[in-house]
Structure 1
Amino acid sequence: MVTSDSILQKKGCIIIPELIDFSQNHQWQVILVNDGSTDRTPQLLRTFENEENVTIINHKVNRGYGGALKTGLSHVKTPFAITIDGDGQHNLQDVESLFEFAVEKDADLVVGWRKSKQNSGFYRELGKAFIRQFTKFLMPLEIHDLNSGMKLYRTELAQKYIHICPNSMAFSDVITLVFINQRHLVLEYPITIKPRKAGRSTISTSTALETLLEILNIVLMFNPLRIFLPLSLLFIGFSLIWGIPILIAGRGVSVGTLLLAITGVLLLVLGLIANQLSDLRIGLLSMVMNQEDPSQKEKMD
């Protein structure tokens, strides 16, 4: 499945024909999602609408990176789905490698690890490293390339989880964390990256901040105590460090000590309440997901 704001440039179709030929040789389905492009992309995509096993979807307006992926994943009819970007950086030979690896390991999600990726600049790499360390602090994480655009999903699971993921660039990070939190088998496999053939990156500082907020939101949804408990212990610990010397000196309990201790207790109580709400929400979510969807079952058969 390919998504892009503008995958076809003035030079013409430089990505799609190769992708279609490769997929047809393997008898795979191709879903092309045009996310509200304002250039000639819709017209050029029409030239491929009669190709075998090719589905073309056009958004009337731009829904965002995650919105395009949601649309594509919701139309998948095969047991596995793989997503790639429309800038030509991904090697199509890696598609087959990821698929074979997923089948061999019975994986639910395989992340394409850009182990030898092109240098994207110090500032951007620093931001990615910070996001990964921030995520690793909040939850167990063994994935090196969290926001890789090439991922192979078990379709049934991806279609269950996409509705709780954002429409923004954070989709790629968040859906991986959802799979991890739900105890599905998430692995990674090295892939190669080629120079960008089309388009340009839209990742910016605001994108990174939005991703951090979405990651925080997912952690609060699945394991809020992972955030509230350390904060609570931090405030209570500071209250003890602040208050014990004053208490030993015979000057009683200071206002600062009380303020820190009460804040710590309040954070602990809020964490326990949030954890109860999280359990209820996850329970309701599981009930909805476990309800048999005849249309989805028919697509997968």
Structure 2
Amino acid sequence: MNNVSVVIPAKNEAEGLATVLPKLTSISDCWQLIVVDDGSTDNTRDVCLEHGVQVVSHSYSKGNGAAVKAGARKATGDIIVFMDGDGQHDPNDIPKLLNILHSQNQDMVVGARDSESQANVGRDVGNRLYNQLATYMTGHKVWDLTSGFRVVRANKFKEFLYLLPNGFSYPTTSTMAFFRAGYSVAYMPIKAAKRKGKSHLRLHKDGVRFLIIIFKIGTLYSPLKIFLPLSVSIFVTGFSYYMYTFSTAGRFTNMSALLFTTSLMIFLMGLISEQITTLVYKKNG
């Protein structure tokens, strides 16, 4: 399996990498190991050099997604493994993920975390919500939409580099892009350990980011599946209000007109978004 590249985005992950890198080299010394140092202020780079790992350094922090893209561009393997450098992902799971990729002829295999592997109850509830929404959007069971531990076929993953954000939602974007392009996605249950060091996620900031992810799920796959139910619900509300005012006052009110107009505008926005999404993925169709 010397055609495998392992990409690890890292920002101040010296403690975790000191544990992860020796395990990776013990599994296979012929893999290409790439750590993208995303503007670390600790000795992340030194730890990588001590273990003979290829380092891509950012002079300042560009974001987790930007680090993933930089690593993917440097990867020379036909298969790319993405994992965190904080010690949560077990390198011993990589051969299992690769086995599923090859034996089942998959294009992406994601390490799906269970509830016990989530950082807290709030994160678990949020991920369940994303998984259910993604399942509805794609028509396929999505076990873990936001897991950063995955193996992909490099040529197919690189098709979507231009879509990936520089922030933390690259797993969501890449998964939905694969589904939308008709590529195969599989899941393997994993146990994620407690991370080493401090998390870079912040509740007040990332709560808004997670809300944006929900809308991104829709726009990346089929916007009309989000806009149409919303349009219909507003139309039904407007029609119900019209029937009430007509039966009680015998007239058509401005509120009913506003609701009908809003319903139509939302539907048209969804229709236009659907066409844009189709054009974005046309070259992969």
Query: What secondary structure is seen at the aligned counterpart in 2 of 1:82?
Result: strand
> Contact conserved, 1:36 with 1:61, CA < 8 A, in 2?
yes
The two structures, once aligned, show a CA RMSD in angstroms of: 2.4
Cα pair 2:83 2:149 within 8 Å, conserved: yes
Cross-structure match for 2:14: 8
Please name the residue that 1:299 is paired with: none
Q: Secondary structure at the match of 1:275?
A: helix
Task: Tell me the TM-score normalised to structure 1 length.
Answer: 0.83
2:110, 2:185 within 8 Å by CA — same for their partners in 1?
A: yes
Say whether the 8 Å CA contact 1:116–1:193 is kept in structure 2: no
Could you tell me how far apart the structure 1 residues matched to 2:74 and 2:193 are? 28
Alignment of 1:77-116 (within 5 A): 77-115=76-114
Q: Give me the whole-angstrom Cα distance separating, in 1, the residues matched to 2:145 and 2:267.
A: 30
CA distance in 1: counterparts of 2:19 and 2:59, whole angstroms: 23
2:26 corresponds to:
21
3-state SS of paired residue (2:210): helix
* CA distance in structure 1 between the aligned counterparts of 2:269 and 2:175, rounded to whole angstroms: 27
Mean Cα displacement is larger for which, 232-241 or 213-222? 213-222
- 1:265-285 CA-partner distances (Å, limit 9, x unpaired): 2222232233333333333xx
Q: 1:129 to 1:248 in 2, by over 3 A?
A: same
Change (3 A) 1:165 1:276: same
What is the distance in 2 between the residues matched to 1:14 and 1:167?
26
Q: Check conservation: 1:3, 1:85, Cα contact below 8 A.
A: yes
**2:179/2:221 contact within 8 Å kept:** no
Amino acid at match of 1:42: R
Match for residue 156 of structure 1? 155
In structure 2, C-alpha distance between the alignment counterparts of 1:238 and 1:189, rounded to whole Å: 43
The answer to whether the 8 Å contact 1:131/1:212 transfers is no
SS at match of 2:114: coil
Q: Using the alignment, how far apart are the partners of 2:128 and 2:202 within structure 1?
A: 14
Separation (CA, whole Å) in 2 of partners of 1:58 and 1:18: 22
Q: What is the TM-score when the length of structure 2 is the normalising length?
A: 0.87
Q: Is the 8 A contact 1:94 1:192 kept in 2?
A: no
Structure 1 residue 150: deviation in Å? 1.0
CA distance in structure 2 between the aligned counterparts of 1:91 and 1:281, rounded to whole angstroms = 35
> In structure 2, what is the Cα distance between the partners aligned to 1:187 and 1:16?
26
Distance 2:209 2:131 in 1: 14
* Pairwise CA distance, 1:97: 0.5
Whole-Å Cα distance in 2 between the matches of residues 123 and 102 of structure 1?
Answer: 31
Number of residue equivalences: 278
Deviation at 1:186, TM superposition (A): 0.6
Residues 212-231 of structure 1 mapped to structure 2, 5 A cutoff: 212-231=211-230
Q: Percent identity?
A: 26
Name the counterpart of 1:277.
276
Q: How far has the Cα of 1:38 moved from its partner?
A: 0.7
Change in Cα spacing, 1:189 to 1:35, as seen in structure 2 (3 Å) is: same
Secondary structure of 2:251's aligned partner: coil
Which letter does structure 2 place at the counterpart of 1:31?
I
Contact 2:176–2:220 under 8 Å retained in 1:
no
Distance 1:188 1:16, change over 3 A: same
Q: Within 2, Cα distance between the matches of 1:250 and 1:271? A: 34
Change in CA separation of 1:101 and 1:221 when aligned onto 2, cut-off 3 Å: closer
Cα 1:259/1:195, change in 2 over 3 Å = closer
Structure 2 unpaired stretches of 5+? 1-6
Q: 1:55-87 deviations in whole A, cap 9, x for unaligned?
A: 221111111111111111122222211111111
Shift of 1:132: 2.9
